[in-house]
Chain A
Amino acid sequence: MSNISDLGIAGIRDGLTGGDFTAREVAETFIGRVSAAKPLNAFLVETPDHALAAADVADKAIAAGETLGKMVGVPIGMKDLFCTEGVETTAASGILEGFTPQYESTVSANLFKAGAGMLGKLNMDQFAMGSSNETSAFGNVISPWRRNDGGNTDLAPGGSSGGSAAVVSGRIAPAATGTDTGGSIRQPAAFVGITGFKPTYGRCSRWGTIAFASSLDQAGPMAQDVRDCAIMLEAMAGFDPKDSTSLELPVPDWEAALNSNLAGKKIGIPKEYRVDNMPAEIDALWEQGIAWLKDAGATIVDVSLPHTKYALPAYYIIAPAEASSNLARYDGVRYGSRDLPDGAGLQDMYAATREAGFGAEVKRRIMIGTYVLSAGYYDAYYTQAQKVRTLISQDFEKAWNSCDLLLTPTAPSAAFGLGEKADDPLAMYLNDVFTVPSSLAGLPAMSVPTGLDGQGLPLGLQIIGKALDEQNVFNAGLALEERAGFVAKPEQWW
C-alpha cells in the first residue's frame, strides 16, 4: 500500500471501504501534512477539528455498513472564497478580516453532506482577482514546485485558486475546492501539475460563495486526477433554489460513465489559440496531445474561433464591471474591517475603510469597472463587451457543428517566479488568454497535467466541451491522462 498522503479521493474511498485504514488515520495524516506545510503559506485558517469530526462520522458509518457519501472520509482544503459557518472567511482580503459567517455556502455544505471534512481555508488571490496569488492580503502562497536549475526561486502556484493548487500538488490535501471566473481553477492546476475542472456555468450554486464576477464565477474541483474530479464535482454540483442562475438539472454520475475510448468523437483544434511568443515546449505538448487523442480513437479537425482575440479585453471589462458593483457591500457598516477616522462622516468612513481594506489589484479592478459602467462610457465599453461575449459564444456554437470537444493549451507559459510579473498587470492578465473564452461562454473545461517543460515544471492541456457535456470533457481528459502518464510531483523542500 502506498502512503496515505499520496492517495486521492478514489484511493481513500477504496482504502476505507477495504478496511486498509480508518478515516481518522487519513485525517490525522493530512492534518500532520498541513501543519508541516506552513512555509507554503497555503492555509489562512486551519480546521483540524472539522476534519477529525468528519472522519469519526465516516468511521462510524463505515462500521455500521451505511450507504456512504461520495466524499466520505476525505479531508479537503476549502478555498477561502466559500463562506464556512463559524470559520473565518476573508477571500484573502483585509476588508473581511475577522468576518465569520453564520452560514455555510451551498458547495461546502454539499461536500460536507457527502462526507468530506475540512482541513482549513485556503489562501488565494484577493477576491479571486489575480493569476499568481500575489494579491492576497495575507502573503502569497509559494508553489511546492522548484525549477530543476538547482536554485530556490519561489514560484507562483498560479491563481486565483493558488492555495488549492499548492496543497493538492504538495500532497497536503487529497483534493481542494476552487473557483474559476476566467481561469482561476485551470491555470493554477496547470502550473502545479494537477487536474482542475470548471463545470458549465450554473452546475454549482454560487450561494454563499463570495462574488467576484457573478456571470462568470463557477466552483469546481481541484484534485490529483480526472476520476477524483468527477467524484468531487458530483458532490459539489446540483440545483439550488437560492441561486437564480443555478441549473435545475439532475447531477449525472460522471464517474460511473468515465470512458477513455474516444472512437467517433471529433476534437477541434482552434487555430486562434496559436499565439505569438508561446514557448515551443507548449506547442510541442499540444501536438503530443493531438496524437494522444487520435490514439484514443478521436478524429482531429481544424476549427476557427474568430473572435478569440477579443475575449480577453471583453473579459477585463465585464468582470471588473460586475466586481465594482459586487464589492460595494464592503463598506465597513455591517461586518469586516472599518476605518473610522476621528470626526469622520459616512463618506469618509467608506473611503478610509475601502482604502485600507482593499488591495491594489482589487482597487484597480473596481476603478476599471466603475469607469466602464459610467455615464457616457457604458455603451462604448460594457455594451460592446457584451456583444463580443455573444459573438464568442456563437464561435463555440459554430465550432460544435464540426466537433464535440476542443483541445488547447491551458496557459501560455509554465509557472513563473513570484514577483516576475507583479508590476505588469497586462502581462499577468495574459495568463488567462486560453481559459477566458470558455468562461465567457459558460462552457465546461478542464486542465489535465500532461508534461514537464525544460525547467522541470508542469504543463497542462485544456479540454473544452459543450454546455452540460461534462461527461465528454472528463472522458477526453481521461484519455490524455492515461497516455501522458503524468506522475511527477514536487520534491518536499518545505
Chain B
Amino acid sequence: MTESTYRIQGATGEWEVVIGLEVHAQVTSNAKLFSGASTEFGAEPNTQVSLVDAAMPGMLPVPNKECVRQAVRTGLAINAQINKYSRFDRKNYFYADLPQGYQISQLYHPIVGEGEVQISLDEKDPDAHGKAIGIERIHIEQDAGKLMHDQHPTMSYVDLNRCGVALMEIVSRPDMTSPKEAGAYVKKLRSILRYVGSCDGNMEQGSMRADVNVSVRKPGEELGIRTETKNVNSVRFVQQVIEYEAQRQVDVLESGGEIVQETRLFDPDKGETRSMRSKEDAHDYRYFPDPDLLPLELEDDFIFDCKASLPELPDEKRARYKNVLGLSAYNAAVLTAEHETALWFEKLLDTSNEPEKIASSAANWMTSELFGALNKMGLTITESPVTPEQAAELLGLVADGTISGKIAKQVFEIMLETGDGAAKIVEEKGLKQESDTGAIEKVIAEVMQANADKVEEYRGGKDKLFGFFVGQTMKAMQGKANPQVVNELLKKTLDN
C-alpha cells in the first residue's frame, strides 16, 4: 500500500498518527478459563458462578483445554509463532469485580508470539491496497465481573457471571496510521476470529473490545507519547477515538503542552475521550507466575491437530474465488468477508457438478439480488428466508432458459414472500419462458402486420425502432418469451 496519507493539519504543519490496538476477544467455549461454570450471555446475575470464580477459600484454577486450543488455532490463523512453553501469571489488584484479588493472565510467556494480519483499504480490489499489520503476541487471561451501580441507593452490586470467562488479548504492533486502517484491522481480525470459531466477534455484547493506543508525531520523527483508551466496543468508536485523540494531542502539543502517558475512557455520547488515570497513579500489578498452575507445555501433535482443524481462511478463500472460480475481485472480497456468507455461497455451488460454471452468475446474484433483499428486510445471511438450495434452483431455471433474468427477479420476490420453490412458482404462475420459434414467429408476424408503417421506417434506416418491436413482441407474450430468441427472430424477419 502507498504510504498513509492521513494527516492532522496543525498550526505548525502536518502531524502523523501512530496507532496500536489491544483487542480483547472472548474465547468461544462453553466453560470458563479455569472453572466449569457456563459462559452463556444474558443469564440472571450470579447464576453462572462457580466456587472458583467467587474465589472461595482453598479453591484452585484448572485450565480449560478448549480455551487453550482456541488460542492456538487463532495464532495459527494469523501465521503466528506458537509457544510450546507458556505460563500463567497473576496480575494483582483490588477491585470488587475481581474476587481473587488478581487476574490470571500471561505476562512473561504468552501462548502465541509474532504474527500478522493482512488488511486492505479498498473493498473493491483488496490486493491492490494491502498492508500487513504486525501482531506482537496473543495471551489468554480471565475476564472480570461487572459492577452495577444502579440497583441500590448507597451500595454497588456485583455480577460475577462474566468473571473468569476466557479472553484472548491480541496485541498489535503500532503499525496503523489512520482511523481507516484501524477500522479495517478490527474488521479483518473479527472476520478471522469468526472463521476460526474462536470468538463470535459480537462487539455489542462485549465479546470483542479494543484498547486503543494513539500517539502523534511530525512525519519522520521519533514516536510520541501515547495514550491508551480502554474498552472501545465498535469499529466506529475505535475510529472516533483515534480522530478525537489525535486532534486533542496535536492541540495540546501545539499550544506548548505535553502529552501525559495515561489511560483514558471514551464517552460515546459526546464522542470524546477523558482521562481515567495517569501513569503516576498506575497500579503496580506485582505480576508473578501463578503457583497454582503448572506451565502450559504443548505437544507437536496438539498443535498439528489445531492446524488441521482450521477452515480455509478469508485470504486463501478470496484468492481461490478469484483465481479458480473466476469471480471479480469485488465479488470475491464481499463473499469472503463473513464466513457465513462464504459458506452460503459454497453451499449454493455444491448443488452443481460444475461449480465453476455457475460461480460468477451465483456471485452476481448474491451480491445484488440476495444482499439487496436481506438488507431491505434487515436480516443476516444466516436468517435468509431463501436457502442456498432454493437459490440454486432459481438460478438453474435462468441458466437453462426456462425463465429470463427479469422473470427471475419476480420469482425471487415471490419466493421471499411465500417460501415456495422457484419451479413451483414458475409452474403455478405460468411464468415459463416461451422459446418455441414457431409461436414467437407467429406473434412477430402479427406485430409486424399491425405496425406496417414502423416496419417501413425501420427498413428505411431507423434502427432505433428495433427495441420497439422487441417490446411489442414481449408485451404480446406477457413477457414470457425468451428475449434472446425474440431478438434473433426479429432481426432475421425485419432485416429480410
Q: Is the CB of B286 within 8 A of A325?
A: yes
Of the candidates A211, A245, A370, A382, the one whose C-beta lies within 8 Å of that of B58 is A211
Q: How far is the CA of A105 from the CA of B62 in the complex (A)?
A: 16
Nearest-CB distance from A388 to chain B (Å)? 15
In the complex, which residues 13-69 of chain B have their Cβ closer than 8 Å to any Cβ of chain A? 51, 54-63
Q: Is the CB of A328 within 8 A of B292?
A: no
Q: How far is the CA of A334 from the CA of B156 in the complex (A)?
A: 13
Nearest-CB distance from A171 to chain B (Å)? 30
Nearest-CB distance from B86 to chain A (Å)? 14
User: Residue on A with the closest CB to B88?
Assistant: A244
Q: How far is the CA of A91 from the CA of B61 in the complex (A)?
A: 21
Say yes or no: A244-B56 contact (C-beta < 8 A), given A214-B292, A325-B286. no
Q: Is the CB of A325 within 8 A of B288?
A: yes
Q: How far is the CA of A331 from the CA of B93 in the complex (A)?
A: 12
Q: How far is the CA of A334 from the CA of B58 in the complex (A)?
A: 14
Q: Is the CB of B288 within 8 A of A321?
A: yes
Q: How far is the CA of A299 from the CA of B54 in the complex (A)?
A: 53
Q: Is the CB of A329 within 8 A of B58?
A: no
Residues of A within 8 A of B95 (CB): 346
Say yes or no: A213-B291 contact (C-beta < 8 A), given A83-B57, A105-B58, A373-B92. yes
Q: Is the CB of A335 within 8 A of B288?
A: no
Q: How far is the CA of A431 from the CA of B55 in the complex (A)?
A: 32
User: Residue on B with the closest CB to A371?
Assistant: B286
Q: How far is the CA of A83 from the CA of B51 in the complex (A)?
A: 13
User: Residue on A with the closest CB to B294?
Assistant: A244
Q: Is the CB of B62 within 8 A of A241?
A: yes
Q: Is the CB of B291 within 8 A of A99?
A: no
| Interface window among B99-107, B199-207, B411-419 | B99-107
Q: Is the CB of B59 within 8 A of A334?
A: no
Q: Is the CB of A242 within 8 A of B60?
A: yes
Q: Is the CB of A245 within 8 A of B51?
A: no
Residues of B within 8 A of A83 (CB): 56-58
B94 CB-CB contact with A under 8 Å: yes
Q: How far is the CA of A373 from the CA of B57 in the complex (A)?
A: 22
Q: Is the CB of B62 within 8 A of A244?
A: yes
B96 CB-CB contact with A under 8 Å: yes
Q: Is the CB of B60 within 8 A of A333?
A: no
A365 CB-CB contact with B under 8 Å: no
Q: How far is the CA of A91 from the CA of B58 in the complex (A)?
A: 11
Residues of B within 8 A of A292 (CB): none
Say yes or no: A245-B292 contact (C-beta < 8 A), given A99-B57, A331-B101, A335-B56. yes
Nearest-CB distance from A470 to chain B (Å)? 21
Q: Is the CB of A207 within 8 A of B58?
A: yes
Of the candidates B63, B101, B156, B284, the one whose C-beta lies within 8 Å of that of A329 is B101
Q: How far is the CA of A211 from the CA of B381 in the complex (A)?
A: 51
Nearest-CB distance from A377 to chain B (Å)? 10
In the complex, which residues 81-134 of chain B have their Cβ closer than 8 Å to any Cβ of chain A? 90, 92, 94-96, 99-102
Nearest-CB distance from A344 to chain B (Å)? 11
Q: Is the CB of A206 within 8 A of B101?
A: no
Residues of B within 8 A of A346 (CB): 95-96, 156
Q: Is the CB of B288 within 8 A of A334?
A: no
Q: Is the CB of A91 within 8 A of B57?
A: yes
Q: How far is the CA of A207 from the CA of B287 in the complex (A)?
A: 23
Q: Is the CB of A210 within 8 A of B58?
A: yes
Nearest-CB distance from A204 to chain B (Å)? 13
Residues of A within 8 A of B448 (CB): none
Q: Is the CB of A214 within 8 A of B291?
A: yes
Task: For chain B, give the interface size range.
Answer: 20 to 34
Q: 1/0 per position for B281-301, CB-CB distance to A under 8 A?
A: 000101110011110000000
Of the candidates B90, B286, B294, the one whose C-beta lies within 8 Å of that of A245 is B294
Interface centre among B63, B94, B156, B288 (most CB of A within 10 A): B288
Q: How far is the CA of A473 from the CA of B59 in the complex (A)?
A: 30
Q: Is the CB of A374 within 8 A of B286?
A: yes
User: Residue on B with the closest CB to A99?
Assistant: B57
Q: Is the CB of B54 within 8 A of A328?
A: no
Nearest-CB distance from B393 to chain A (Å)? 53
In the complex, which residues 342-383 of chain A have their Cβ closer than 8 Å to any Cβ of chain B? 346-347, 350, 370, 373-375, 378, 382
Q: How far is the CA of A214 from the CA of B102 in the complex (A)?
A: 15
Residues of A within 8 A of B63 (CB): 244
Residues of B within 8 A of A329 (CB): 55, 57, 99-101
Main secondary structure of the interface of B (DSSP, over half): loop
Nearest-CB distance from A371 to chain B (Å)? 9
In the complex, which residues 93-123 of chain A have their Cβ closer than 8 Å to any Cβ of chain B? 96, 99, 101-103, 105
Q: Is the CB of B60 within 8 A of A206?
A: yes
B158 CB-CB contact with A under 8 Å: yes
For the complex, count residues of A whose C-beta is within 8 A of B.
44
Q: Is the CB of B62 within 8 A of A89?
A: no
Say yes or no: A334-B55 contact (C-beta < 8 A), given A213-B291, A325-B102. yes
Q: Is the CB of A89 within 8 A of B57?
A: yes
Residues of A within 8 A of B94 (CB): 328, 331, 347, 350
In the complex, which residues 189-238 of chain A have their Cβ closer than 8 Å to any Cβ of chain B? 206-211, 213-215
Say yes or no: A244-B158 contact (C-beta < 8 A), given A325-B92, A331-B94, A373-B92. no
Q: Is the CB of A322 within 8 A of B60?
A: no
User: Residue on B with the closest CB to A207?
Assistant: B60
Residues of B within 8 A of A382 (CB): 288
A243 CB-CB contact with B under 8 Å: yes
Q: How far is the CA of A101 from the CA of B284 in the complex (A)?
A: 32
Q: Is the CB of B101 within 8 A of A373?
A: no
Nearest-CB distance from A198 to chain B (Å)? 17
Q: Is the CB of B57 within 8 A of A244?
A: no
Residues of B within 8 A of A96 (CB): 57
Q: How far is the CA of A356 from the CA of B284 in the complex (A)?
A: 24
Q: How far is the CA of A347 from the CA of B93 in the complex (A)?
A: 11
Say yes or no: A328-B100 contact (C-beta < 8 A), given A244-B292, A370-B286, A373-B286. yes
Q: Is the CB of B58 within 8 A of A325?
A: no
Of the candidates B58, B61, B92, the one whose C-beta lies within 8 Å of that of A328 is B92
Residues of A within 8 A of B90 (CB): 325
Residues of A within 8 A of B56 (CB): 83, 101, 103, 334-335
Say yes or no: A101-B101 contact (C-beta < 8 A), given A325-B92, A374-B284. no
Q: How far is the CA of A215 from the CA of B290 in the complex (A)?
A: 9
Nearest-CB distance from A439 to chain B (Å)? 13
Nearest-CB distance from B62 to chain A (Å)? 5
Q: How far is the CA of A374 from the CA of B95 in the complex (A)?
A: 18
In the complex, which residues 298-328 of chain A have their Cβ closer than 8 Å to any Cβ of chain B? 321-322, 324-325, 327-328
Residues of A within 8 A of B99 (CB): 329, 333-334
User: Residue on B with the closest CB to A335?
Assistant: B56
Q: How far is the CA of A373 from the CA of B54 in the complex (A)?
A: 24
Q: Is the CB of A244 within 8 A of B61?
A: yes
Q: How far is the CA of A105 from the CA of B56 in the complex (A)?
A: 12
Of the candidates B58, B61, B158, the one whose C-beta lies within 8 Å of that of A208 is B58
Residues of A within 8 A of B100 (CB): 328-329
Residues of A within 8 A of B293 (CB): 244-245
Q: Is the CB of A243 within 8 A of B291?
A: no
Q: Is the CB of A373 within 8 A of B60?
A: no
Q: How far is the CA of A331 from the CA of B158 in the complex (A)?
A: 14
Q: How far is the CA of A207 from the CA of B288 in the complex (A)?
A: 21
Nearest-CB distance from B456 to chain A (Å)? 95
Q: Is the CB of B62 within 8 A of A242?
A: yes
Residue positions of B touching A, CB distance < 8 A? 51, 54-63, 90, 92, 94-96, 99-102, 156, 158, 284, 286-288, 291-294
17 A–B contacts from the bound complex (CB under 8 Å): A101-B58, A102-B51, A103-B51, A208-B58, A210-B57, A211-B58, A214-B292, A242-B60, A244-B292, A325-B90, A325-B92, A325-B101, A334-B55, A374-B286, A375-B284, A378-B287, A378-B288
Residue positions of A touching B, CB distance < 8 A? 82-83, 89, 91, 96, 99, 101-103, 105, 206-211, 213-215, 241-245, 321-322, 324-325, 327-329, 331, 333-335, 346-347, 350, 370, 373-375, 378, 382
5 A-B pairs closest in CB distance: A328-B101, A373-B286, A214-B291, A215-B291, A329-B55
Contacts A321-B288, A333-B99, A378-B286 supplied; 6 other A-B pairs, CB < 8 Å: A91-B57, A96-B57, A207-B58, A244-B293, A322-B291, A373-B286
